[in-house]
């Protein structure tokens, strides 16, 4: 018998060893007669009866008959079903869209299905049309309008019609970016080399490079016979292969080295900063760290040494501030080289969300960008701010602080997690629960296992006195246990 009351939100409940659904008013809507069930998604629920799976709607009407060994959620209007070790797809009327005859089916939600038949993959669309022959060892998800396929340890590309645009002859292929793909080919007696393809399968550059990096600022780093240079996506060598080492472009510049001397080039290959430094790092926020005569400082993009090379070590600028190591201690400077605080710290981290972790006399705290300490130096451990909150530990007990440095709850927990959907997981005396951003506990801390909120619900588990799972299910943001199933 099916109750005709509100079906808005239906909550699983258990009666003896059977399961059904109630509404928010605790009224039975679907009687407890199922062996196993899952919460409603998109208006239907997976339920099992007499060892077979089917779907029901929120009135309890059967959507998919109870005849399947396996059932998944609906995606793009279809769901994968399994019977006697074979798989297919049905729609919401129960009609078989793809026959139940495949050894494996993978549906990424992109309109296409990878199907395994007789140990080979082919491509099917969600209407059941077979688009490609079953001859591939695997088919990856579409990147744009092409997907990587592999056959006999060689890779190529097919389009959305299943047509093989690039034959599977390459050792490696990378997804197309800006109309080109980097491919690796085995040239007999010579070895493995990288080249470029266009989307028609034509070789822009035949495989000839020992290595090819990702495109950055329109250029890709290439190497040949231990020399480095850069090409554009037409295959033109913009930077000749004359460097002993190079890094990818960052902020329009790339670090390069000849012998032991480092400098910078721009994206047309000009050496805009002479190769004279012992060591350099990429530009970050308009400045780059450089070292000469074992001293570090900063240069701008004109090559001017805007912060003198006088430090033992310097970190890159983050949020306009750089951490500086004087040897055994740390200070912070702005982009003019001015120290933001007169205090010298024994340990420090870079700024994150406007705050930096610092240590003084063996204890940790936070400073802001003016150098002001927003917390006392009283914590044994602290972590960087994340979305306006940071985890801190005092006497090995944890809590969370806000951007004012205020503790939202007393430091009493053995463990705290980051906030997720407004709640942070905490542990006390080996049991888990949640606190909100005011530090209020959502429920008593009683759970043996608890996973952070995802789309409004959190999985929990309660054990009996012998450590065996007694209850498991889901918790909502009001603290109600609304799904318990074994």
Please report the pLDDT score of residue 102 as a whole number. 96
Please report the pLDDT score of residue 309 as a whole number. 97
Please report the pLDDT score of residue 467 as a whole number. 61
Mean pLDDT computed over every residue of the chain = 92
Q: Rounded to 5 degrees, what are φ and ψ at 164? A: -80, 105
* CA-closest candidate to residue 427, choices 455, 403, 391, 456: 391
| Higher pLDDT among residues 280 and 455, named by residue | 280
- 39: confidence class by pLDDT, cuts 50, 70, 90: confident
Please report the pLDDT score of residue 128 as a whole number. 87
Mean pLDDT of all residues in 265-271: 95
Q: Give the number of residues written for the chain.
A: 486
What is the rounded radius of gyration, in angstroms, for the C-alpha atoms of the chain?
30
Q: Where are the beta strands (DSSP E) in 84-226?
A: 86-91, 96-102, 104-107, 112-117, 120-125, 138-139, 146-151, 154-159, 164-170, 172-173, 180-187, 191-198, 203-209, 211-216, 219-224
pLDDT at 240 over 90: yes
* CA-closest candidate to residue 202, choices 244, 160, 157, 237: 157
Q: How far is the C-alpha of 335 from the C-alpha of 364, rounded, in Å? A: 25
- Considering the domain 413-486 in this protein, what is its CATH number? 2.40.10
- 25: confidence class by pLDDT, cuts 50, 70, 90: confident
How far is C-alpha 385 from the chain's CA centre? 19
Please report the pLDDT score of residue 1 as a whole number. 35
Answering whether pTM is above 0.85, one says no
Mean pLDDT of all residues in 346-371: 97
Mean pLDDT of all residues in 368-376: 97
* Category of 447 on φ-ψ map: left (φ > 0), alpha (ψ -120 to 50) or beta: beta
Q: How far is the C-alpha of 385 from the C-alpha of 389, rounded, in Å? A: 5
Rounded percentage of the chain residues whose pLDDT exceeds 90: 78
Mean pLDDT of all residues in 250-279: 97
Please report the pLDDT score of residue 208 as a whole number. 94
List pLDDT tens digits, range 322-332: 999 999 999 99
List pLDDT tens digits, range 97-117: 999 999 999 987 788 999 999
pLDDT at 477 over 90: no
Annotated domain spans of the chain: 315-409, 413-486
pLDDT at 5 over 60: no
3-state secondary structure of 485: coil
Range in 14-23, 163-172, 263-272, 349-358 with the lowest mean pLDDT: 14-23
Please report the pLDDT score of residue 482 as a whole number. 61
Q: How far is the C-alpha of 144 from the C-alpha of 174, rounded, in Å? A: 13
* Category of 17 on φ-ψ map: left (φ > 0), alpha (ψ -120 to 50) or beta: alpha
Task: Provide CB contacts within 8 A for 8, sequence distance 6+.
Answer: 23, 24
List pLDDT tens digits, range 188-238: 767 899 999 999 999 999 999 999 999 999 999 999 999 999 999 999 999
Chain position carrying tokens 């074994």: 486
pLDDT at 483 over 60: no
List pLDDT tens digits, range 284-298: 999 999 999 999 999
User: Tokens for 190?
Assistant: 């010579």
Please report the pLDDT score of residue 398 as a whole number. 98
* CA-closest candidate to residue 118, choices 107, 134, 132: 134
Mean pLDDT of all residues in 19-47: 88
List pLDDT tens digits, range 176-199: 998 999 999 988 767 899 999 999
Please report the pLDDT score of residue 471 as a whole number. 66
- 361: confidence class by pLDDT, cuts 50, 70, 90: very high
Q: How far is the C-alpha of 313 from the C-alpha of 290, rounded, in Å? A: 10
């Amino acid at each position: 018998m099916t109750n005709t009351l509100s079906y808005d939100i239906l909550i699983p409940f258990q009666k003896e060893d059977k399961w059904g659904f109630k509404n928010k008013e605790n009224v039975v809507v679907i009687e407890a007669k199922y062996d196993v069930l899952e919460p409603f998604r998109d208006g239907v629920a997976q339920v099992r009866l007499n060892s077979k799976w089917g779907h029901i709607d929120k009135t309890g009407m059967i959507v998919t008959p109870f005849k399947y060994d396996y059932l998944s959620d609906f995606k793009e209007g279809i769901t994968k079903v399994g019977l006697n070790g074979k798989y297919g797809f049905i729609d919401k009327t129960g009609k078989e869209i793809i026959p139940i005859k495949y050894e494996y089916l993978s549906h990424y939600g992109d309109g296409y299905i990878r199907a395994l038949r007789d140990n080979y993959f082919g491509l099917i669309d969600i209407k059941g049309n077979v688009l490609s022959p079953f001859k591939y060892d695997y088919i990856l998800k579409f990147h744009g309008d092409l997907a990587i396929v592999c056959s006999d340890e060689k890779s190529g590309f097919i389009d959305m019609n299943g047509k093989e645009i690039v034959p599977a002859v390459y050792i490696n292929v990378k997804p197309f970016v800006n109309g080109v793909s980097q491919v690796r080919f085995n040239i007999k007696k010579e070895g493995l080399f990288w080249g470029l393809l266009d989307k028609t399968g034509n070789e822009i550059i035949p495989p000839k490079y020992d290595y090819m990096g990702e495109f950055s600022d329109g250029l890709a780093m290439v190497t040949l016979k231990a020399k480095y240079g850069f090409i554009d996506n037409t295959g033109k060598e913009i930077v000749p292969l004359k460097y002993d080492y190079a890094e990818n472009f960052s902020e329009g510049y790339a670090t390069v080295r000849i012998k032991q001397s480092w400098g910078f080039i721009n994206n047309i290959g000009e050496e805009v900063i002479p190769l004279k430094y012992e060591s350099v790092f990429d530009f970050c926020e308009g400045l780059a760290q450089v070292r000469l005569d074992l001293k570090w400082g900063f240069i701008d993009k004109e090559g001017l040494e805007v912060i003198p090379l006088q430090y033992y070590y310097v970190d890159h600028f983050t949020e306009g501030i750089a951490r500086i190591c004087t040897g055994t201690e740390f200070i912070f400077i702005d982009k003019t080289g001015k120290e933001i605080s007169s205090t010298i710290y024994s340990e420090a981290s870079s700024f994150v969300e406007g705050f930096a972790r610092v240590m003084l006399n063996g204890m940790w705290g936070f400073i802001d960008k003016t150098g002001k300490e927003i917390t006392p130096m009283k914590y044994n451990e602290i972590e960087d701010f994340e979305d306006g909150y940071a985890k801190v530990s005092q006497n090995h007990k944890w809590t969370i602080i806000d951007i004012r440095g205020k503790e939202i709850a007393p430091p009493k927990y053995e463990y705290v997690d980051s906030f997720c959907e407004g709640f942070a997981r905490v542990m006390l005396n080996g049991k888990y629960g949640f606190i909100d951003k005011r530090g209020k506990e959502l429920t008593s801390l009683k759970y043996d296992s608890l996973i952070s909120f995802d789309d409004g619900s959190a999985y929990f588990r309660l054990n009996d006195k012998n450590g065996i799972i007694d209850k498991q299910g889901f918790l909502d943001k009001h603290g109600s246990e609304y799904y318990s199933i074994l």
